[in-house]
Structure 1
Amino acid sequence: MTPNIDAFPLIRREHLFGNPTRAAGQISPDGQWLSWLAPRDGVLNIWMAPSEDPEAAKPMSASTDRPIREYMWAPDSRSLLYIQDKGGDENFLLYGIDVEAGKETSLTPFDDTRVMLVGGSDTYKDRILIGLNNRDARFHDVHLLDLNTGELTLVLQNDAYAGFIADDDLHLRLAVLPNAEGGTDYFKVEDNVVADAPFKSTGIDDALTTSPGGFTRDGKTMYWLESEGRNTAALLAMDWVSGTTTLIAQDDRADIGGTLRHKDTGEVLAYSVNYLKREWTALDDDIAGAFEFLDSRLEGEYGINSRTDDDRKWIVGNDPLVKPAASYLYDRDAETLTKLYTTRPELEGAPLQPMHTLELTSRDGLTLPSYLTLPPGSDEDGDGVPDAPVPMVLFVHGGPWARDGYGFNGHHQWLANRGYAVLSVNFRGSTGFGKDFINAANLEWGRKMHDDLIDAVEWAVEAGIAPRDKIAIMGGSYGGYATLAGLTFTPEVFACGVDIVGPSNLETLLASIPPYWEPMVAQFHTRMGNPNTEQGLALIKERSPLYKAGEIVRPLLIAQGANDPRVKQPESDQIVDAMKDAGIPVTYLLYPDEGHGFAKPANNIAFSAVAENFLATYLGGRAEPIGDTLRSSTAEIPAGAEFVEGLAEALESA
């Protein structure tokens, strides 16, 4: 325990993982309306208010079960659009809400279907292009959707391609097809006919660092994020007819990330690079002035979440890191910044902790951008090292082709508040740091990718962050796999582990991928191992924690959604069964109405209640009692309630 931790109040779980008061603020393209997500009868729904009177808000959607988490305005401002699945199955359908009438309509009323957005337009604002895989689950046929009548018109039947790019006239211009080498082929499309041969191809090395970035309004220029001939992805402009490319921006530290485009021309006005922190560079004097204005008035990080068609009003999200996030209306003409809401006002005054940026070094010399949060009261001089070592949780991101970043992190704040240092490491394979960093992870699941995490643990011990015998590993998806790998391949390193929807058997994981991922299977085989070859199958089995479950000697908590389409329930069932057969302590939480992660706040709160009491049992940190969180959730405990302090008693009262 941190010596001074008890002087700081426990942050209640629901304040971090319950519903936000408001979130995801947007302004309609015509500037007439503000919108956001907020609870309605305890479930996140879309709310709307006149932009001149934010207090006159009314709910526009009526979800009673799963929270709405993604929505957007139709380009013509006449409707709000959102996607929703059932029970976490990730078969997302598209719904529309007529702003004037308040009527809600299912725009894709199909079973076992996942919608994808292909293109929108600033010219034809009442329609969009969408992809639907209702004919063949593997491929998305392209349809034109009239947003106001709901009429669907087939544009192109797709029997091969992973995706398409359209221009502002809603004409398909580019088809994307993964190739046998694990890279990507790009084909021109004319009059909805795909060319026979690709005009551009990448190999596996550039597959995750090269992608099309869309057209300018006139359709003459296409932007690319491209790493061919370089390490990090640069921003290029390609003349569509001649193929000539012009370099706009590059950064040797990290890939070019987001861009800000001109609302009329579609030309790039600014770009971002996210190495340890996100940095924006303006290419336009007016945008540079807007950034200077925001920099002078906002503390910490900020992002532009929404813009009107005339680009005179923005919704800006601000993350001060040690205060709750807030959203503002920025009027560029009046030069005013008006606060709209604080996302979690209950966190005002809470002992939120700063996040420290780190550059760790792997045993073979790679730089690992990382983030550390320390418990309150543990670091009096603020140098990023506690005054005395504290228990630590190594929190591993999913993907693995994703990354950790700087900013408010609910899991970091929660665990730090409970008395733990929290370390997140961008291990090799993480995206955003160039293709060499990604490709260093090929065929290294459970080996060099795991070595990077162990090297971070060694750094933490040697730097005085944590005692060697008080370190846990925790994460979701690939982070769950890393947890299982940590407890099987290096069984003595961690005091305990928390696996959230992590695969235990890479062979069964690859055999059960969703059908719409099938075009990308060659890349999975190249990066993980090909189960269709003798050598590849042997590699995959060697790197699967299931086959070494008998070597686990530390307590393990596993949480799984029964409807997960990516990491299916048997991935957790089989390692739980193996551990039970071997007499090894394992606690298993199963959610019958969740998928790849837990969307419902009550389920998230119940998980965090069990997890923090599990960690307190084996690391000695603080925890709120589990209380009635299980009763409020759908959580089932098929195994191991006796291994978490207070869990058996909570089950009896549930």
Structure 2
Amino acid sequence: MFANPARTDPKISPNGSQLSWLAPDKSNTLNVWTSGLDGGNAHCVTNETGDPIEWYTWAADGKHVLYLHDNAGDEIPHLFSAELTSGNVRDLTPFRGVRAQNVLTDSRYPGAALVALNLRDRNIFDMYRVNLETGAIALEAQNPGDVLTWKADNNFVIRAATAFDGKSARTTIRVRDAADKPWRDLVVMPFERALFAGQVVNGSLVVGFDPDDKSLLVDSALNSDKGQLVRVELDNGHQVGVVAEDPKCDVAFADVGRLGMEPKVLLNPISDAPQAVEFNYTTSHWFFIDPKLKEDFETISRQSPVFVDLVSRDNADQIWIVAIRRSDAPDAFYSFDRATKKLMPLFAENPDLAKFRLAAKKPVVVKARDGLEMVSYLTTPPGIESKKLPLVLLIHGGPWDRDSDSYDPEAQFLANRGYAVLQSNYRGSIGFGIKFFNAGDLQVGLGMVEDVIDAARWAVDQGIADPKRIAAMGGSMGGFATLRALEMRPDLFACGVDEFGPADEAMGLRTFPKYWSNIIARWRRREGDVDHDENWNRRISPLYHVDAIRAPLLIGQGKNDPRVTLANADAMVAALRKAKREVTYVVYPDEGHGFARPENQFDFYGRVEEFFAKHLGGRAQPWKRVAGSTAEPK
């Protein structure tokens, strides 16, 4: 389950003649491969080692593949170009300590790409235009200090931006009429009315310019509790219509590489008109705008009646690559010819899992103690009655993030080992409207943790969970919540697994990367001013409540983590050991915020299953040393 995918993330070339995907090379590192559309002449076109390539795209010229790659999890990726004919790989942003993000291409301008870099100032990202043939780079738009992301118009000119003011905490949609015209504020969103993507590094609320260039498509909750796709007039900022909405949830967001998010909206590759918008309350679904697109989705759905995602298409919009997504199987990919309506299988992400029976997530709505409804997902071992099972509360990070009904290797792994798995979207989780989002304010380490505790009690009350065999587990702020849960209810939890979770929030804010400096205002407004108010920091940070912990802990940490530093994890472990608490601590020297290399994942989850088997009683394969893992037990 934690091996590299056999193949994943397929994309079709701009002219529709070639296919690309990510797959392991001979060193077992995910690299970019290409072939003819029929699969012929498959070969690897990049040669990265260590960390896998997580994001790539075709350049608009069809001659290059562009990709981002960092160094051992340091989250300072450079933008590279691989020329398909010669095999030459070029670092397009060869600047030490400079991060590349917000990469844009346009089929009508094949010789260039746009990329945001913190080259001039490590705290902010200006936009640059890169010549793909020569590698020449030129400043396209200068950041005044608050821009999160940039957006190009239909002539591939940067004319819109999503900005967050670190002083007022307002989100602003900013535009200009031409490259030589001044910027002006088009829409200003107060802190309490802005969606999360308008408050986070590399987040965007701008979908694009309407084909008539008279209005802008924006994801907004200014006039609704839920995030809607709306049209805003470019000359005055007035909202002139709602394009798509759902009464229960916001417009869904798509991840754009690591640390990047934008509204999940399908745009016509020829006209740039909106065609469909994704929403996800308990399960994902499309709101269709274009009737022809809807017809083709219905054709595909008749052959595969689960969620269909359009992941790539050629410039002519005739050949599609679609993903079939479900919670009980890794993604499967198909090509679809719009002319013949023929759906052809390409590959499954992990075909070796096809012989196993995996567990479907069951959406449930759990009420917190104050009546707040939390969309949650229950995964139980297939073929076993869901009664008095050992339970793992799998807590999402962020904390401003969400769990969904997508395939989740951790949930499948735990269910396979005999555990019920419950994932709850506690207050402050995103996607469920402004009121739900704001309900998490000043509840980090407090009400958010009470919510997941209430979810555990729900599972006990339903007869699903054995009250004596409950664990908490999570990564990042999910690891933080795990530590706090064991402190707040030491009588409830038998053990916990903390994956790179912060123990001291003040230390975390003080050691965030420089380019997070502007958005720290959002952290202070939403979790409390921990780096100035020592009493508040002590109230919510796990480091200061170690004496309350009774259950054993397993803690995993990446040495190069730029968000939760090694010092933060070290401090927690030292405090636990000083208090004579049981803790197993494993550090991975070539990992950052998360474990990217499969050898390290095998090692860590092997330790997890033995740890849970000891304290909860599930199944486990005997742990043994994994060749290639860099694990360092401390």
Taking structure 1 as the reference length, what is the TM-score of the superposition? 0.91
1:43 corresponds to:
29
Q: Secondary structure at the match of 2:185?
A: coil
Give yes or no for contact 2:162–2:174 (8 Å, CA) kept in 1: yes
Distance 1:323 1:140, change over 3 A: closer
1:466-487 superposed Cα distances (whole Å, 9 cap, x missing partner): 1111010000011000111111
Give yes or no for contact 2:194–2:222 (8 Å, CA) kept in 1: no
2:325 corresponds to:
319
1:208 Cα deviation (Å)? 2.2
**Out of 345, 348, 352, which is 1:342 matched to?**
348
**Out of 245, 252, 271, which is 1:250 matched to?**
245
1:173 corresponds to:
159
1:537 corresponds to:
534
Give yes or no for contact 1:313–1:331 (8 Å, CA) kept in 2: yes
Moved more, 213-222 or 392-401: 213-222
Matched, 1:116 2:101: yes
1:581 corresponds to:
578
1:20 Cα deviation (Å)? 1.1
Whole-angstrom CA distance in 1 between matches of 2:187 and 2:271? 25
1:204 corresponds to:
191
1:20 corresponds to:
5
Distance 1:451 1:501, change over 3 A: same
Aligned AA (2:299) = F
Q: CA RMSD in A?
A: 1.6
Matched, 1:310 2:316: yes
1:65 corresponds to:
50
Taking structure 2 as the reference length, what is the TM-score of the superposition? 0.94
Counterparts of 1:322-333 in structure 2, within 5 Å, are: 322-333=328-339
Give yes or no for contact 2:160–2:175 (8 Å, CA) kept in 1: yes
2:298 corresponds to:
292
2:74 corresponds to:
89
1:197 Cα deviation (Å)? 5.9
Q: Secondary structure at the match of 2:118?
A: strand
Q: Secondary structure at the match of 1:590?
A: strand
Moved more, 211-220 or 411-420: 211-220
Whole-angstrom CA distance in 2 between matches of 1:288 and 1:532? 50
Whole-angstrom CA distance in 2 between matches of 1:194 and 1:494? 60
Give yes or no for contact 1:183–1:523 (8 Å, CA) kept in 2: no
Aligned AA (1:570) = A
Counterparts of 1:493-642 in structure 2, within 5 Å, are: 493-531=492-530, 533=532, 536-629=533-626, 631-638=627-634
Q: Secondary structure at the match of 1:64?
A: coil
Aligned AA (2:351) = P
1:443-474 superposed Cα distances (whole Å, 9 cap, x missing partner): 10111111110110110000011111101000
2:91 corresponds to:
106
Give yes or no for contact 1:37–1:44 (8 Å, CA) kept in 2: yes
1:159 Cα deviation (Å)? 4.3
Q: Secondary structure at the match of 2:478?
A: helix
Q: Which runs of 5+ in 2 are unaligned?
A: 199-204, 253-263
Distance 1:162 1:299, change over 3 A: same
1:401 Cα deviation (Å)? 1.1
Whole-angstrom CA distance in 1 between matches of 2:155 and 2:534? 47
2:256 corresponds to:
none
Give yes or no for contact 1:111–1:134 (8 Å, CA) kept in 2: no
Aligned AA (1:233) = G
1:143 Cα deviation (Å)? 1.0
1:196 Cα deviation (Å)? 7.1
Whole-angstrom CA distance in 2 between matches of 1:454 and 1:333? 53
1:96-151 superposed Cα distances (whole Å, 9 cap, x missing partner): 11122221111111111111225432321221221111232101122111122211
1:199-227 superposed Cα distances (whole Å, 9 cap, x missing partner): 32111112225622221345332101110
Q: Which runs of 5+ in 1 are unaligned?
A: 1-15, 380-385, 639-654
Q: Percent same amino acid among aligned pairs?
A: 36
Aligned AA (1:537) = E
Matched, 1:437 2:436: yes
1:365 corresponds to:
371
1:162 Cα deviation (Å)? 2.5
2:359 corresponds to:
353
1:26 Cα deviation (Å)? 0.9
Distance 1:194 1:538, change over 3 A: farther
Whole-angstrom CA distance in 2 between matches of 1:637 and 1:514? 27
Moved more, 118-127 or 514-523: 118-127
1:355-402 superposed Cα distances (whole Å, 9 cap, x missing partner): 1010111111111000011012213xxxxxx1x311010001111111
1:158 Cα deviation (Å)? 2.7
